[in-house]
A and B are shown apart, each in its own frame.
Chain A
Amino acid sequence: MSEEKAAQGPLPVVPFLKLPEGGDPYLEGYKCKSCSAIYLGERSVCAKCGTRDQLEPTRLANTGTLYVYSIVHRSFPGIEVPYVSAIVDLDGGGTVKGNLINVEPDPEKIEFGMPIEVVYKDALGRKDRDGNSYLSYFFQPRS
């Protein structure tokens, strides 16, 4: 462990989580100008229509709806359970998978289609081997 190698602030948990200097974090998609398909992360060819070099970055919404979920009770050693693995359709396009928090892990308490917001917080205290901390995204119910 070499804490001195750690960066000044937290790093993004995935490349499509953007941390603009002095701005709020957001999720970035790449949208095909030809067919409007949306991807997470930068790419040059559209997998839907095959068009090349027509993908441009687009800022994804921080609101959406719950498509489906599973309540995970058994995971790998060291991973705290239970947690809710959720697939969320963001308003305006783009589908993202993540943890649904601030909800009871009980099928009676979770509804398909419920309104969701994206929130940005520390990645459950997980650090890499250089001691870097990470900023992650989470979903929570939106009232």
Chain B
Amino acid sequence: MTDAYVVGIDMIKFGRFPDRSVPNIGAEAALLALDDCGLKIQDMEALYCGNLGQANAMVGQRVLQEIGQTGIPVVNCANACATGATAFREAWMSIKAGVYDVVLALGVEQMGRGLLGGGGGGTGIPKEGLLGSATMPAVFAEAGQEHARKYGTTFEQFAKVSVKNHHHSTMNAKAMYQKETPLDEVMNAEMISYPNTKLMCSVNVDGSAAAVLCSEKKARELGLMGRAVKVSASVLTSDPWQERDLVMPDVNTCTRQAAAKAFEMAGVGPEDVNLVELHDCFATAEILHYENLGLCKDGEAGRLIDEGETALGGRVPVNVSGGLLSKGHPLGATGIANIYEVSTHLRGEAGKRQVEGAKVGMTHVIGLGSACGIHILEKVAN
């Protein structure tokens, strides 16, 4: 089976573009990724397109209507916040299977503002605020509180995640925000759902990211191995049954199972990972995933954030892009945007936020419902 490589990858600067269409936003990232490797849409054998908000509206085909209708197969996919990672993985599988030699993966989203989840629906009366809360800030607050219950994790420790990620994004021109948020500012921001304040919730933004994937033979033929990044693991899991999952979505078990499979597939361990882009949809979530991804032992995540081990310059920097908290979270684009971030470090092209000497990186997303997508990427030894 051939190895699969990312040869071209890019993302647009995340922001709010209410006057543009979803395909138009997606087309921009697709062209950037093609330019990154000097290929044309005519070179692509298939397109895997991830988008959630218009999942029934043929977004991939409409992107091709903007950049070149070459008649290639298009697969549109939706998988909550794992949508982009799922599109990327479908592209990866097509290369691994030997069906195609060079394909395009794209993730794009246009978001509204405000709370996600808990919209009610169904019959009868609204249940929000009557049978607890189904808003995302509350759901992930409760997931964080489970960690607090087990290990005594504090509001301050959760808040430190947001301080770190906002700091990181001051070095990332493509992030939504470039603004420091000191600890007292994070903790004193409007409380949304305790213990998540407004600055501990990811930012709803519009955005897109795209990647060109190649077989090894094709990458060599095209002379693109110089900046290529090897995809050494691609894993997708769903949530196995848990006793509380009817009322409390479990983002832990599916992540742990995906991480174990990914490390096995890549032949590396957590100690080999130089940087991680993980799903910090809320500050509480990042703490859980330190342990779920094996970056530390169970119960040590609070210490990890306290001691700066996951900050740039620390033992294993996490979310040096600014993460979903500050770079922004366009749902369908996030899974490819985090692959862009890790690839940029492995290429040594991350500028001020470069993780020096990065050879192995990991990306992680969770789509509530649930889907977990993990990729391990490696620098190619030239």
Known: A127-B125, A134-B124, A134-B125. A74 touches B244 (CB 8 A): no
Contacts of A79 in B (CB 8 A): 126, 128-129
**Separation of A97 and B149 alpha carbons in the complex (Å):** 17
Question: Is B129 a contact partner of A95 (Cβ separation < 8 A)?
Answer: no
Is B377 among interface residues, defined by CB-CB distance under 8 A? Answer: no
Is A11 among interface residues, defined by CB-CB distance under 8 A? Answer: yes
Residue of A nearest to B149 (CB): A112
Contacts of A67 in B (CB 8 A): 146, 149, 244, 248
Question: Contact partner of A85 among B133, B148, B149, CB < 8 A?
Answer: B133
Question: Contact partner of B192 among A11, A74, A95, A99, CB < 8 A?
Answer: A74
Question: Is A95 a contact partner of B145 (Cβ separation < 8 A)?
Answer: no
Q: How many chain B residues touch A (Cβ–Cβ < 8 Å)?
A: 38
Question: Contact partner of A83 among B126, B129, B137, CB < 8 A?
Answer: B129
- Which chain B residues in 109-165 approach chain A with CB under 8 Å? 115, 118-120, 123-133, 135, 137-138, 141-142, 145-146, 148-149, 155
Question: Is A74 a contact partner of B137 (Cβ separation < 8 A)?
Answer: yes
Question: Contact partner of B243 among A13, A95, A98, CB < 8 A?
Answer: A95
Question: Is A95 a contact partner of B244 (Cβ separation < 8 A)?
Answer: yes
Is B298 among interface residues, defined by CB-CB distance under 8 A? Answer: no
Q: How many chain A residues touch B (Cβ–Cβ < 8 Å)?
A: 44
Contacts of A81 in B (CB 8 A): 129
**Separation of A76 and B127 alpha carbons in the complex (Å):** 11
**Separation of A68 and B244 alpha carbons in the complex (Å):** 11
Question: Is A75 a contact partner of B243 (Cβ separation < 8 A)?
Answer: no
Is A6 among interface residues, defined by CB-CB distance under 8 A? Answer: no
Is B246 among interface residues, defined by CB-CB distance under 8 A? Answer: yes
Contacts of B142 in A (CB 8 A): 68-70, 85, 87
Question: Is A76 a contact partner of B124 (Cβ separation < 8 A)?
Answer: no
Main secondary structure on A side of the interface with B: strand
Contacts of A73 in B (CB 8 A): 190-194
Closest CB in chain A relative to B288 CB, distance in Å: 13
Question: Contact partner of A70 among B128, B194, B247, CB < 8 A?
Answer: B194
Question: Is B193 a contact partner of A74 (Cβ separation < 8 A)?
Answer: yes
Question: Is A70 a contact partner of B115 (Cβ separation < 8 A)?
Answer: no
Closest CB in chain B relative to A103 CB, distance in Å: 13
Contacts of A33 in B (CB 8 A): none
Contacts of A97 in B (CB 8 A): 131-132, 247-248
**Separation of A47 and B243 alpha carbons in the complex (Å):** 10
CB 8 Å contact bits of B231-254 with A (1 = contact, 0 = none): 000000000010110111000000
Question: Is B244 a contact partner of A75 (Cβ separation < 8 A)?
Answer: no
Question: Is A13 a contact partner of B125 (Cβ separation < 8 A)?
Answer: yes
Contacts of B118 in A (CB 8 A): 75-76
**Other A-B pairs beyond A11-B124, A71-B193, A134-B124, 14, CB < 8 Å:** A37-B243, A69-B145, A70-B141, A70-B145, A72-B137, A74-B192, A75-B128, A76-B128, A98-B132, A99-B129, A99-B130, A112-B149, A123-B125, A124-B129
9 contacts between A and B (CB under 8 A): A68-B149, A72-B137, A72-B192, A73-B192, A76-B119, A86-B132, A87-B247, A95-B247, A126-B130
For the complex of A and B, list the 10 residue pairs with the smallest distance between their C-beta atoms, beginning with the closest. A85-B132, A70-B141, A97-B247, A79-B129, A71-B194, A85-B133, A68-B145, A126-B125, A48-B241, A112-B149
Which B residues form the contact surface with A (CB < 8 A)?
A: 115, 118-120, 123-133, 135, 137-138, 141-142, 145-146, 148-149, 155, 190-196, 241, 243-244, 246-248
Which A residues form the contact surface with B (CB < 8 A)?
A: 11, 13-14, 37-40, 47-48, 67-76, 79-81, 83, 85-87, 89, 95-99, 107, 112-113, 123-124, 126-128, 132, 134, 136-137
